[in-house]
Amino acid sequence: MRAHTRATAVIVRSVYGTAAVEWFLIFAIGTILVTRAYLELTGYPQIGGGTLHIAHALWGGALMMLALVTGWLFLGPTTRILAIVMGGIGFGLFLDEVGKFVTKDNDYFYGPSAEIMYLLVVLILLISRIVRDVRRPTIAEAIANAAAIAADGVAHGLPTRRRQQATEFLQVAADNGGDPETIAHIRALVEAGVDTPDRLMRLRARATRLIPGFFRSPRWLTVVGWLLVASSTITVIVGGLSFYFDGRRRGDVDLYLELSKNHTATWILLVSGAVTLALALPAMIARRRTVRVWPLRALRIAALIFTLSNALVDFALEGFGAVFNLTLGLFALAVISYHLGIRVAVATRELDHDELRV
């Protein structure tokens, strides 16, 4: 009997899980806003005839079903990406008609629909973050994630980036007392995987080359970061003032009056603004004082929260106008993600050089 034998883990977290959830939600929210924009521009057409009406929630359910079936039938990173895209779009189409599901008269324009969407999105996002951050990866999780990458290598080959991720997981498991024989077997599988081009990174590189050099400047990161700080500060102030300006105290700014009629939207703005400010301000202060990656990760989370929450509130208050604000939020998210990728790559190269010197 092996000395390192451990109890089998009941739940094992995926290293890619949180990123998959975030992209799933981005596609879902984008789908909701694009769908509402399309329906408003086309006069809310109905698919069907006579007494039939094929609601787009059905198309959403079909896409979510296809995402599940695809994930069950096929292995590999391409399949996971396809499932995320189909599942996110399908969930957005389904969630867009939530008003019909919670009202007796099937009211598509039910006012609190946006709040229901917001609560679901935030709940999913928070659960994914809690699951990821509740504790450090266990030995079983490190080995299991490395084994999953090794399995991809057996079937499809491995790009250098994923091979290195698997190696790092195995090193974590070894440093914490993982079974040396199991680790050696998985390491052999990882090393035996055929070298393949990193298609995802190539696609990302091609998309990056389409971005004008002006937008790739580090100055945009500073601009976007401080805009997040300023916007979240203004959001907290406006949300607070909306409780003061009501029908009896008519202020000069109509937004206060509009928010004061929708307390749920006010609380959404207050909470999202406060969380964004708590993440963005320390990150921007620390960004110039450290070469570590955490300030950019915090900025990315702040941009994600601010974009999703404000998109839904804007959608509830302004309708079609939310598309413009969502575009700005996604631009900020893209800028931060681009520079985060560069910083992670630099940190990885520096780690490799340190290992070579040792």
The domain segmentation of the chain, as residue ranges, is 17-133, 139-207, 211-350
Q: What is the DSSP string of 248-308?
A: SS--S-HHHHHHHT-HHHHHHHHHHHHHHHHHHHHHHHHHTT---SHHHHHHHHHHHHHHH
pLDDT digits 0-9 by tens, 183-195: 999 999 888 888 8
Is the per-residue pLDDT at 90 higher than 80?
Answer: yes
Q: Are 25 and 46 in contact (CB under 8 A)?
A: no
The interaxial angle of helices 294-318 and 322-357, nearest 10 deg, is 170
Cross-strand partners of 158: 195
Q: Are 236 and 298 in contact (CB under 8 A)?
A: no
Is the entire prediction scored with pTM above 0.85? no
Is the per-residue pLDDT at 271 higher than 90?
Answer: no
Residues contacting 314, CB < 8 A, separation 6+: 321, 322, 325, 326
pLDDT digits 0-9 by tens, 203-238: 666 665 666 666 667 788 888 888 888 888 887 887
**Helix (H) or strand (E) segment spanning residue 319:** none
Q: How far apart are CA 294 and CA 210, in angstroms?
A: 27
Q: Are 62 and 120 in contact (CB under 8 A)?
A: no
Q: How far apart are CA 298 and CA 279, in angstroms?
A: 6
